[in-house]
Chain A
Amino acid sequence: MLFPTTSPPPTPPRVVITGAGIVTALGRGWKPNAEGFRSGRTAFRPVSLFDVSRQRARSAAEVDLPATLPSTRLGAKQLARFDRAASTLLLATHEAWQQSGWEPAENLPFVLGTTAGGMSFGEAYFRQAAQSPLRHRHQPTRAVYYQPQVQARMILEALGANGPVTIVSNACASGSNAIGHAWELIRHGQAERALTGGYDALTELVFSGFDALQALTTTVCRPFDAGRDGLALGEGAAVMALETLESARRRDAPILGELIGYGTSIDRHHLTQPHPQGDTTLKVMQQACATAGVAPDDVDYINAHGTGTILNDSSEAAAISHWAGTRAATLPVSSTKANIGHLLGAAGAVEAVISLMTLREQWLPPETMFETPDPACHFPIVQKPRDAHVRVVLSNSFGFGGVNASLILRRWA
């Protein structure tokens, strides 16, 4: 029952990560992404998916999809209904699922964050309805597969699993909120394990939207740089298999890391602009630390939201500097949006997996195009590839509408 629920355990169980899948413009899967982020490679190129000839910005981080999707329980007819977004989600979920060693099951919560889901179907629907109003072919299919919950159900079908699907859409914080929600389900005894993450694909509407806002860079995405001039868009997906430590130990599963903290709140300042001093960011970082039982001194790296826009980065820099206090001077921070762009609803999930990579492989992802720090940054930006002793990572995500979220992950050793 969703209500009343069973009594929560007296002590919340530890929640570990036993599977992780990632798809970005740097590649498909853990290995190419880890290599790319470790070296600070960037993945931007001219947009090929739709016409951008009349936009201010012309590049983005597009994913190269494979010719064939992984073999699952879905047939060719079902796979034909996958758009780019669903395809990236399937790839990431499949990788996480394989790694977790989970077997098909009933009642497996699937918690996803997205801003646009199957938007490409929505765009195709609109174009046909507007341009060929008497032509109805494919429209019913588009009207159904446009909806992210349908895509999520298809992914569960692909794995042979079933369970409650929850789609969180808090704009660019969606991925982090989804993971945080799944973490809470497990901590409060409502599930022993959960599949969670985020996904979004590049679409014309969204690209045009950020371009209209003049939020897209026309040069290079340089988060926290004094000369930054905007964000770059990307696409992709990341999924994690979360379960209680007890469950993982019971089946002797390899543990990739531990999710130890989560904070979320809403910034009421403006629909698209954060509070200048990052009040809500500060609050969610403090909340996440409180749930994790760590202090700024315990955090070894921050994967910042760091979009590369003037307003976001100055607000986040103020919040990080305030939150970290004296620790700020030596606390490494970077934004991996410099490498793969802003993945919107997938960003929080992808950046959580990147954080996991830093914990597993003991390196920090650099912003190789970074030049001059913004004066609000009282912390060092990771600029060059380097190894590091990383035990605890904090990852920030903020969205249009003001929802902020922070996740804290710990190395499993």
Chain B
Amino acid sequence: MGVNRIFIAGMGAVSPAGWTVGALREALDRNEPLPTQTLERPGWNKPLPVRRVPNPTVRPEFLTHPRLRRTSPITHYVVAAALEATGGLRANHDPGFRLGLVVCLQSGCVNYSCRFYEETLKDPTTASPLLFPETVYAAPASHLAAVLGNISLANSLVGDPATFLQGVSLGAQWLEEDRVDACLVIGAEETNWILADALWHLERPAVLTAGAGALCLCRKPEWSTGVELAAITDAHTYSSQKNRTQAACAMRAQLGMPASCRPVVSQPNEEIAGRMPVLPELLCDGVGNGPRTDKAELEAWRDWTGPRLSPKRILGEGLMAATAWQCVAACDAVAGGRFVAANVSLVGSNQQAIGARFVRSNSDISHLSGGGPPGNIRP
């Protein structure tokens, strides 16, 4: 076993539901798919469906930071989610505070990549040098590091959406090695017509969306939101020997849960058991509206009879942002006292299946207020 416990110090989310975890929670509670908009595809009269991130009601103050002047939406989402997730820590940390950063992306900075390449094809002599640096995968992490000022260690990971949990495990590793005091793990994406076009080719019923989800990990129980990381399975990589369904089933088996509801706390605690209603475990899965994509995950969790939350059904296909929202929603459900544990199932599109379990931490239960399951959780 690792030498340290890892807690969730904060969460952040930017999604088509809005610019906070609260907005995400409300949308999931309403259990109604968010309205779609259309995205014009050049040269084709058939528009592509998307769910856009709404403009914030008030222009975020962070956008006045000089490093963010020319950045694309993905950086705005990353910064907003990060600031929300680290809100509690930024108030009272010491000057030597070391924050780690792992930004996970599948498509990354597609807006400026397309704009720059389009300009190159038209006339490379006038292609904008301001756009090109914003095309690199590492740009959002770089800008966020400049805004926060105390990032000491950073990595940008690219992969299919299950990579978000690889990012969480990397953050946990940095914490265990005492290389950072807390670590932000962020999954983010932005939309544009070419990405929507690609998704149309690969999974026609899916509706592309964008945003970011962030978890802030820490080792100190006193910084915890009441949620603890209990487990992340192996990365079950797809291969000719292990297809998506087999990988998803291996992940599900490794999480080691019975099919039905089973209340789990990280350590037995009579006080919790006496005060709180015993609630079942939650499954937060990645099932959306794509029969082909969903097949493996549905098969892996075929015998699951407990409560189930499927954020993609409400929000859309946000790629790496969507798996980050799954983790945020799971942690939020535990932090809010709705469940004693939440299991997250990430069955990626073309790389791997990874699962995780978040549990209610015994060390800090004072803020738990109970409350029933959100409306869209299907028993």
A interface with B by C-beta (< 8 Å): 1-8, 54-55, 107, 114-115, 117, 122-123, 125-127, 129-130, 133-134, 136, 139-140, 143-144, 147-150, 153, 156-157, 162-171, 177, 181, 184, 188, 204-205, 208-214, 264-266, 268, 271-272, 399-403
- Taking a contact as CB atoms under 8 Å apart, the answer to whether B157 and A271 are in contact is no
| A168 neighbours in B (Cβ, 8 Å) | 155-158
**Cβ–Cβ < 8 Å partners of B1 in chain A:** 4-7
Cβ-closest chain B residue relative to A74: B240
Chain A residue nearest in CB terms to B143: A271
Do most interface residues of chain B lie in helix, strand or loop, or is the interface mixed?
Answer: mixed
Closest to A106 in B: B241
| Chain A minimum-CB-distance residue to B1 | A4
Cβ-defined partner of B242 (8 Å) among A125, A150, A162, A164? A162
A169 engages B157 (CB within 8 Å): yes
With A2-B169, A126-B117 known as contacts, the answer to whether A149 contacts B158 (CB < 8 A) is: yes
Complex partner residue of B201 from A107, A139, A271, A402, CB under 8 angstroms: A139
Q: Does B43 have its Cβ within 8 Å of any Cβ on chain A?
A: yes
Instruction: Using A153-B351, A164-B237 as known contacts, say yes or no to A209 and B135 having CB atoms under 8 A apart.
Output: yes
Identify B117's interface contact among A8, A123, A133, A210, CB under 8 A.
Answer: A123
Return chain A residues, CB-CB under 8 Å to B32.
none
Please give, as numbers and ranges, the residues of chain B lying within 8 Å of A123 by CB-CB distance. Answer: 117
Which residues in B have their C-beta under 8 angstroms from that of A126?
A: 114, 117-118, 194
CB of B352 within 8 Å of the partner chain: yes
Contact A147 B160 (CB under 8 A): yes
B341-376 contacts to A, CB under 8 A, are 350-352, 354, 356
Q: Is the CB of B44 within 8 A of A125?
A: no
| Contact partner, B136, options A4, A265, A400, Cβ 8 Å | A400
Complex interface: chain A residues within 8 A of B239 (CB): 153, 156-157, 162
Q: From residue A230, how far is it (CB to closest CB) to chain B in Å?
A: 13
B contact set with A: CB distance below 8 Å: 1-3, 6, 41-44, 67, 101, 105-106, 108, 113-114, 116-118, 120-121, 123-125, 127-129, 132-139, 141-143, 145-146, 149, 151-160, 163, 165-166, 168-169, 172-173, 176-177, 194, 197-198, 201-202, 229, 231-235, 237-242, 254, 350-352, 354, 356
Hey, which chain A residues are within 8 Å of B172, CB to CB?
Answer: 3
Query: Contact partner of A165 among B6, B132, B152, B237, CB < 8 A?
Result: B237
- CB pair A157–B240 under 8 Å, yes or no, is yes
- Supply 20 A–B pairs (Cβ within 8 Å), ascending by A: A1-B231, A7-B2, A55-B125, A114-B158, A126-B117, A133-B43, A133-B44, A140-B202, A143-B201, A147-B350, A153-B350, A153-B351, A165-B351, A171-B138, A205-B135, A208-B117, A209-B129, A266-B153, A268-B146, A272-B133
A275 to B114, CA, bound (A): 29
A268–B145 touching, CB < 8 Å: yes
Residue of B nearest to A161 (CB): B239
Residue of B nearest to A127 (CB): B121
Distance of A315 Cα from B233 Cα, bound (Å): 42
A139 and B168 within 8 A (CB): no
A124 to chain B, nearest CB (A): 11
Tell me, in angstroms, the Cα distance from A283 to B356 when the chains sit together. Answer: 35
Contact B138–A55 (Cβ < 8 Å): no
CA distance A115 to B109 in the complex (A): 12
The answer to whether B156 and A150 have CB atoms under 8 Å apart is: no
Report the separation of the CA atoms of residues A129 and B196 in the bound assembly, to the nearest whole angstrom: 12
Additional pairs, 12, CB under 8 Å, beyond known A5-B176, A169-B105, A170-B138: A2-B165, A2-B235, A107-B234, A115-B137, A139-B201, A162-B239, A167-B157, A204-B117, A208-B120, A210-B132, A213-B132, A268-B142
User: Quick check: B152 and A149 within 8 Å, CB to CB?
Assistant: no
A143 engages B198 (CB within 8 Å): yes
Are A209 and B116 within 8 A (Cβ)? yes
